[in-house]
Amino acid sequence: MEILVCVKRVPDTAENEIVVNGKGTDIERGDLVYSVNEWDNYAVEEAIQIRDRVGGSVTVVTVGDGDSEEILRREMAMGADKGILLSDDAFNGSDGRGIASILKSEIEKGKYDLILTGAQADDGAAQVGGMLAAMLDMPYASLVNKIETGSGNTIGIGREIEGGNQEMSEIDLPCVLSIQTGINEPRYVGIRGIRKVASVEIPVHGAGDLGIAAGSVGAAGAKVKRVDYFVPPAGEGAEILEGSSDEIAEKLIELLKSKGGIK
Amino acid sequence: MTQPIFAYITHKNGVADDSALELIVAAKKIDPSAPVTAIVCGDGAELDAVCTAMAAVYPEVWKVSSPALAYPNAEVVRGVLVNLLPAGAVTLAPHDTFGMDLSPGLSVKLNAAFVPDVVGIEGVDGVTLKAVRQEFGGQVSTHIHCDMASGVVLNIRSGVFQADDSKASGAVVDKSGQAGDCKAKRRFIEVVAAEVGDVDITKSDVLVSVGRGIEEQENISIAQELADAIGAVVSCSRPIVDAKWLEKARQVGTSGKTVKPKVYIALGISGSFQHMGGLKGNPFIVAINKNSKAPIFQVADIGVVLDLLEFVPELTEKIKEMK
Ligand SMILES: Cc1cc2nc3c(=O)[nH]c(=O)nc-3n(C[C@H](O)[C@H](O)[C@H](O)COP(=O)(O)OP(=O)(O)OC[C@H]3O[C@@H](n4cnc5c(N)ncnc54)[C@H](O)[C@@H]3O)c2cc1C
Ligand SMILES: Nc1ncnc2c1ncn2[C@@H]1O[C@H](COP(=O)(O)O)[C@@H](O)[C@H]1O
């Protein structure tokens, strides 16, 4: 099975406090720790496991700047066979649809049986996979937490739905699936693994290589634009307990007692 | 504004989802005077029941009936909507597991813009829709300008637009004839119910809930000891289940359990809407988190901005001493 996995480099929210810059034009990016989007890591792990089961290859692709190469290498260290970086100044400011159409142009240059994305990325949009599928006229399923490969031209999938219930379906190949966390346990990647792939060449494709008309993607082609970043004025909000940790603990115990939180 | 507005109604067992009443409220923020049409897809008596209920809220209800729609397969529904919706339609759907499945592809097929997970609507200026979204797990918000000249699909976060007392005596219009062949390359088989666990977190009045801030599996004992000391049960956020540190039955949230405790103590949980979506009944929420900007502080009653790995053992000791 030829599998393509779309991955994105994002600020790691578990490692960073996200702060809006003075003008509200962006978040402060200076000291951010970046990593591969959590959901994408599960998608790559799933792709590797499928390949190891049924054969074929795994390609990881990202739309980003030069810095995004590092996450391609990380996913190759996990076991992906190839990496492709889609990068061009003309891509800057793309909305979800722009990203999907850039990915589509790359996908049409190859022949893939299965295309995986993460369920969502840092902007919580959960849109690129579904858009990509519609553009490619392939069937789609979101929030997939089980994949059963068979021998024919269909695969069995489970989607996670409300309450943790699982919706089982059969889907024709080729298809696009967005992967939900928990589908597997992504393997650990050590420094040695990353070193091993440090010198593998990663092709970079721009708008020209992909035959993408200027103005159809990027800020110019975007129907949906982010105007600013802001932090909403705190409403009621929590009462923050102040003092030494000893004092805080005492206040908290009193509060918990009064609310029936200590039996 | 002259663009027609539609709300996609999700339902189960003949009852419309809560989002059905919220979408019309969101729609009125786009255009207070626009008649909003509800679209209900399904089959049989359950479909009729939902259509009747919606006609009491929406001025018009489009009913689409087919055995192929008995279970809401988004791939089938998308085809139906592409056949039914007029050019330039403004279409609202809930940002839940169905809306996430349906809407991105629908927007492409309609050549419409798409705004996911909308938490605010500030109105329309010409063909520009102004909306509010959140990013980075709710740590920051953004204003969005969306060109809706050729239509737009909006996925609305549940619980944000509070249902009002919208009343109508709407007509139910049967659109089944225009639905198309209802075929799709993805075929629904069955729903497998979530596993039942050893503990039932929905039965406990007091929950000590652990999130990714607990950092390591061994540290779960810190939460368990606090829970033991106060007579609570340990629940958790999703990453803890994904890492297999606790069983799925202990997960609070939209893809886990809905709980209604009296007191909820959140340890190292950021407060994503999917997590908070499982917390009902207005409990007394205590959040312990080392990041003072964590979104959970916006909804918690009491906040402690400290490292939980140091503070919680101290707290547990004090409680034990006191007893
Ligand atoms: C369709 C869908 C359904 C989902 N369903 C659910 C669901 O049902 N339930 C759910 O929980 N999530 C769900 N999620 C995931 C959700 O989006 C978030 O990713 C998740 O809730 C984050 O969990 P968290 O708060 O534990 O982790 P994080 O967001 O990583 O937050 C960890 C927090 O711990 C704090 N912290 C770190 N170290 C310490 C320390 N030493 N002391 C104190 N604080 C510390 C950090 O400041 C941070 O605020 C779902 C996602 C999707 C896409
Ligand atoms: N810039 C990008 N490059 C490659 N894939 C992306 C990019 N942005 C989003 N994706 C994919 O789309 C998924 C969903 O992202 P989003 O729709 O932005 O929430 C991600 O998990 C990735 O798999």
Q: What is the pLDDT of residue A151?
A: 82
DSSP string covering A151-177? SSSEEEEEEE-GGG-EEEEEEESSEEE
Q: What is the CATH number of the domain that holds B318?
A: 3.40.50.1220
The pTM (predicted TM-score) of the whole model is: 0.97
Q: Which 80-139 residues of chain B touch chain A by CB within 8 A?
A: 95-98, 100-109, 113-117, 133-137, 139
Position A98 in a domain: yes
- Residue B184 inside a domain? The answer is no
Residue among B102, B194, B262 whose CB faces A163 most closely:
B194
Q: Is a pLDDT exceeding 80 seen at residue B290?
A: yes
The reply to whether A81 falls in a domain is yes
Asked if A259 lies within 8 A of B116 by C-beta distance, the reply is no
User: What is the phi/psi pair of residue B177, to 5°?
Assistant: -60, -25
Mean pLDDT within B20-24: 97
pLDDT at B34: 87
My answer on whether B149 and B38 are in the same domain is yes
Confirm whether B192 is domain-assigned.
Answer: no
Q: Tell me whether B292 touches chain A (CB under 8 Å).
A: yes
- Together in a domain, B16 and B156: yes
Note whether residue B196 is domain-resident.
Answer: no
Q: Which one, of A100, A72, A66, lies nearest residue A84 by Cα?
A: A72
pLDDT value at position A14? 77
Residue A125 Cβ contacting ligand 2 at under 6 Å:
yes
Instruction: Quote the minimal CA–CA distance from B198 to chain A in Å.
Output: 16
Q: Check residue B195 and give its pLDDT.
A: 87
Q: Does residue B2 carry a pLDDT above 90?
A: no
pLDDT tier for residue B207 given thresholds of 50, 70 and 90: very high
C-alpha A17/C-alpha A60 separation (Å) is: 28
**What is the rounded distance in angstroms from the CA atom of residue B211 to the CA atom of residue B242?**
11
Ligand 1 centre to CA of B271 (Å) is 6
**Which domain covers residue B289, as residue numbers?**
201-322
Residues B150-170 pLDDT 10s:
999 999 999 999 999 889 999
Is B181 a residue whose pLDDT tops 80? yes
Q: Which of B246, B255, B259, B312 to mutate to test the pocket of ligand 1 (most atoms within 8 A of CB)?
A: B255
For residues B167 and B274, state if they share a domain. Answer: no
Domain annotation covers residue A149: yes
Report ipTM for this prediction.
Answer: 0.97
- The whole-angstrom separation of Cα B220 and Cα A159 is 29
Say if residue B144 is in the same domain as residue B234. no
- In a shared domain, residues B52 and B89: yes
The answer to whether residues B91 and B123 belong to one domain is yes
Q: What per-residue confidence (pLDDT) applies to B50?
A: 98
CA–CA distance, B138 with A122 (Å, rounded to integer):
10
Q: Is A24 on the interface with B (CB under 8 A)?
A: no
- How many domains are there within chain B? 2
Res A236: pLDDT? 76
Report the CATH number at residue A83.
3.40.50.620
- Which among B236, B308, B240 has a CA at the least distance from the CA of B278? B236
Let me know if residue A246 belongs to a domain.
Answer: no
Nearest residue (by CA) to ligand 2, atom 23, is: A117
For the cut 80, the answer to whether the pLDDT of residue A132 exceeds it is yes
Per the CB < 8 A criterion, the answer to whether B313 and A248 are in contact is no
Average pLDDT over residues A213-232: 94
- Mean per-residue pLDDT, A222-230: 96
Reported as a single tens digit per residue, the pLDDT across A93-107 is 999 999 999 999 999
Q: Quick one: average pLDDT of B285-303?
A: 95
Helix H, strand E, coil C: the string for A26-70 is CECCCCCCEEECHHHHHHHHHHHHHHHHHCCEEEEEEECCHHHHH
pLDDT in tens, B224-279: 999 999 999 999 999 999 999 999 999 999 999 999 999 999 999 999 999 999 99
Q: Which residues of B touch A134 (CB under 8 A)?
A: 78, 104-106, 108-109
Q: Which domain holds residue A65?
A: 2-221
**Which atom of ligand 2 approaches the CA of A179 most closely?**
21
Could you tell me what percent of chain A has a pLDDT over 70? 100
> Is there a domain that residue B195 lies in?
no
The answer to whether the CB of A8 is under 6 A from ligand 2 is yes
In a domain, A230, yes or no: no
pLDDT-based confidence at residue A263 (cuts at 50, 70, 90): confident
Residue A250 contacts B, CB cutoff 8 Å: yes
CA-wise closest residue to B265 among B214, B321, B196: B214
pLDDT attached to residue A232 = 82
The pLDDT value given to residue A214: 83
Q: What residue in A sits closest to B134 (Cα-Cα)?
A: A123
Q: Label each residue of B42-68 as H, E or C.
A: ECHHHHHHHHHHHHCCCCEEEEEECHH
Angle ∠(B43,B48,B49) on CA atoms, nearest 5: 120
**Number of other CB atoms surrounding residue B2 within 10 Å:** 6
Q: What's the gap in Å between the CA of B221 and the closest CA on chain A?
A: 18
For β-strands A154-160 and A140-149, DSSP reports them as antiparallel
Partner A contacted by B200 (CB < 8 A): no
Q: Is residue B318 part of a domain?
A: yes
Cβ proximity of B54 and B38 under 8 Å:
yes
Q: Pick the residue from chain B with its C-alpha nearest to A243.
A: B304
Minimum Cα–Cα distance from B213: chain A residue: A14
Of B97, B239, B241, the CB nearest to A162: B97
Closest by CA position to A158, among listed A46, A3, A37: A46
Report the domain count for chain A.
1
Q: How confident is the model at residue B122 (pLDDT cuts 50, 70, 90)?
A: very high
User: Which residue does chain B place closest to A249, by CA atoms?
Assistant: B315
The average pLDDT across A166-182 equals: 98
pLDDT of residue B141: 96
Q: What is the pLDDT of residue B237?
A: 98
pLDDT at position B44 is: 96
Compute the mean pLDDT over every residue in chain A, rounded to the nearest whole number.
95
Task: Determine the pLDDT at residue A237.
Answer: 86
A104 ligand 2 Cβ < 6 A: no
CA-closest residue to ligand 1 atom 31:
B270
Do B172 and B217 lie in one domain? The reply is no
What value does the mean pLDDT of chain B take? Answer: 96
Q: Are residues B208 and B168 in the same domain?
A: no
Angstrom distance (rounded) from CA B194 to CA B120: 32
Express each pLDDT in B44-79 by its tens digit.
999 999 999 999 999 999 999 999 999 999 999 999
Question: Which CATH number belongs to the domain containing residue B59 in this structure?
Answer: 3.40.50.620
Instruction: Name the residue of B252, B269, B272, B285 to mutate for ligand 1: max ligand atoms within 8 A of Cβ.
Output: B272
Q: What is the pLDDT of residues A35-65, one digit of tens each?
A: 999 999 999 999 999 999 999 999 999 999 9
Q: Output the pLDDT for position B94.
A: 98
Indicate which ligand has the atom closest to the C-alpha of A83: 2
User: Closest-CA residue in chain A for B291?
Assistant: A17
